[in-house]
Amino acid sequence: MRNMARRETPWYKLDNAGTLYSAIQREEYSAIYRFSAWMTDPVDPALLQNAIDRCMPRFPGFAVRIRRGFFWYYFEPNTAPGPYLKPDVADPCQPVRFREDNGYLVRFYYYRNRISFEAFHALADGTGGLVFFRTLLAEYLRLQGHIIPCGSGLLDVTEAPRREEREDAYARYAGEVARAPALIRRAYSNRGEPEPFYTFHVTMGFVPVDQIKSKAREYQASLTEYLAAGLIWVLLEKQHRERPHRERPVALAVPIDLRALFPTDTLRNFILTVQPSVDPALGPYRFADIVSQVHHYMRLHINPQELRALFTRNVRYERNPALQLIPRPLKNPVMAYNYRTRGVRPYSATFTNPGVFRVPPEMEPHIRHMEVVLGQATVARPHVSAISYGNTLEITFAGTQRDAETERAFFHFLVTQGIPVRIESNRRPGGSSKEED
């Protein structure tokens, strides 16, 4: 099946987001995400490797290697042996090196009952990654003898890949009007002292879904809006305790899945970031005020007209004839600088919530809970992510900063709201990391 893909498509361009992630890639940083499933039974490594081998041909967009062209990066099918399942590591989401692991940009790990999947963000966003991971878990359970039907967001590994799954949806839906986002020039940075390379701290909080949803409804907000407001609240308080000469706005980068507004079957990237924020220079805020502001910001700005204009600007930049002729080694530093000024400085934190991990009823008894981890930021501050399964919402703070003040304050805030939280972390006293038992 991989040879067939090679004949049909010997190479293909990265999408707009993939181009950016590849340009800012460096030895100490890669845009990586991880999804993990805690199963009810210990993992059988041989069966899981078999499931990986059966799934990869069905997802040619994940079975690729990246090449450095003279003008742009591009993907080509990877027919090398692999990717191979490995025992898990204490510090997940390590940077990708394009020549390691036979060129594969995905990784698979196991630890006791946990199955983990990591991907370089240039391949796909979280939605595409979850379709792959859901399909992998289903195939693994089938090899164990369970009957798992297709559908419910998982694909049939016996079917041929569909062209629509590799569509560049940004290019398809780019419109006539292009606008730049109205970003805050410099937000509160929330930076900490960085740990030595590569020490990656992961702290997870497990919360009952029904209780936190009930609390969000008290504020007439969605779960994502409530969590985003809580993060802004603790960052405002943290900045105030630091007593800066001037308090800056606290702003979040919140990725939005565009598929709900622009229908597509693509498994590649199709997300855009919005920026809910609060400016403490305007005066004190109650938490209810912040929830209301986040709620109305999201409802006002998440619309097809505005979002199309934003990603149209990015598509036009990539298609610019003058830029097409500039060699890649000269373009990359410019794109990296643009990312620092427009993708880092205007934000205090990234918060992403891919939502509910849904599986067919036949799979539900075999999965205890889900986890998500965003790889390290380009600066020493935590990325925040959340995912729910059943009645468990898992919230992750992950980063290379030495202190744990942000995550400690956030989970304390949830407890003061009457929401119980169970904490797990790979932190040790003194700042190093360990695998959680």
What is the SS3 assignment for the chain?
CHHHHHHHCCCEECCHHHHHHHHCCECCECCEEEEEEEECCCCCHHHHHHHHHHHHHHCCCCCEEEEECCCCEEEEECCCCCCCEEECCCCCCCCCCCCCHHHCCEEEEEECCEEEEEEECCCCCHHHHHHHHHHHHHHHHHHCCCCCCCECCECCCCCCCCHHHHCCHHHHHCCCCCCCCCCCCCCCCCCCCECCCCCCEEEEEEEEHHHHHHHHHHCCCCHHHHHHHHHHHHHHHHHHHCCCCCCCCEEEEEEEEHHHCCCCCCCCCCEEEECCEECHHHCCCCHHHHHHHHHHHHHHHCCHHHHHHHHHHHHHHHHCHHHHCCCHHHHHHHHHHHHHHHHHCCCCEEEECCCECCCCCCCHHHEEEEEEEECCCCCCCCEEEEEEECCEEEEEEEECECCCHHHHHHHHHHHHCCCCCEEEECECCCCCECCCC
pLDDT interval class at 334 (50, 70, 90)? confident
pLDDT-derived band at 429 (thresholds 50, 70, 90) equals low
Residues 148 and 210 in one domain: no
Per-residue model confidence as pLDDT tens digits over 278-313 = 999 999 999 999 999 999 999 999 999 999 999 999
Whether the predicted pLDDT of 430 surpasses 60? no
Q: Looking at 155, 183, 209, which one is the last position of a domain?
A: 155
Do 136 and 205 belong together in one domain? Answer: no
pLDDT tens by residue, 231-253: 999 999 999 999 999 999 999 99
One domain for residues 79 and 209: no
Model confidence at 335, pLDDT cuts 50, 70, 90, reads confident
Residue 410 reports pLDDT greater than 80: yes
Question: Do residues 120 and 266 share a domain?
Answer: no
Residue 394 has a pLDDT of 98
Residue 185 belongs to a domain: no
Residues 124 and 240 in one domain: no
The confidence score (pLDDT) of residue 432 equals: 44
Average pLDDT over residues 50-58: 98
The reply to whether 127 and 217 lie within a common domain is no
Question: How does pLDDT run across 106-132, given as a tens digit for each residue?
Answer: 999 999 999 999 999 999 999 999 999
Average pLDDT, stretch 180-196?
A: 89
Please indicate, yes or no, whether residues 206 and 150 belong to a single structural domain of this protein.
no
Percent of the chain topping pLDDT 70? 95
- What pLDDT was estimated at residue 343? 78
Q: Which residue has the higher pLDDT, 203 or 13?
A: 203
322 occurs within a structural domain: yes
Q: Is residue 395 part of a domain?
A: yes
Q: So what's the pLDDT on residue 437? A: 33
Q: Is there a domain that residue 124 lies in? A: yes
Q: What percent of the chain has pLDDT over 90?
A: 75
- Answer yes or no: is 247 within a domain: yes
Q: How confident is the model at residue 377, as a pLDDT?
A: 87
Residue 187 located in a structural domain: no
| pLDDT the model gives residue 434 | 43
Same structural domain, 139 and 241: no
- Do 409 and 260 share a structural domain? yes
Question: Could you tell me the residue range of the domain that residue 259 belongs to?
Answer: 201-425
Kindly state whether residue 88 falls inside one of the protein's structural domains: yes
* Choice between 207 and 153, residue whose per-residue pLDDT is larger: 207
Domain stop point among 96, 131, 155: 155
Q: Is pLDDT of 37 > 90?
A: yes
pLDDT at 332 over 70: yes
Q: What is the model's pLDDT at position 106?
A: 98
- Regarding whether 139 and 12 lie in a shared domain, the answer is yes
CATH number at residue 124: 3.30.559.10
Distance CA 39, CA 138 (A): 12
Let me know whether 232 and 355 are in one domain. Answer: yes
Domain boundary among 155, 189, 209: 155
Same domain, 383 and 273: yes
pLDDT over 90 (residue 259): yes
When pLDDT is averaged across residues 36-50 and rounded to a whole number, the result is 98
363 within a domain of the structure (yes/no) = yes
Number of domains in the chain: 2
Q: How far is CA 407 from CA 174, 269, 280, 382, in A?
A: 38, 28, 21, 8
Predicted local confidence at residue 71, as pLDDT: 74
User: Can you give the pLDDT at residue 431?
Assistant: 45
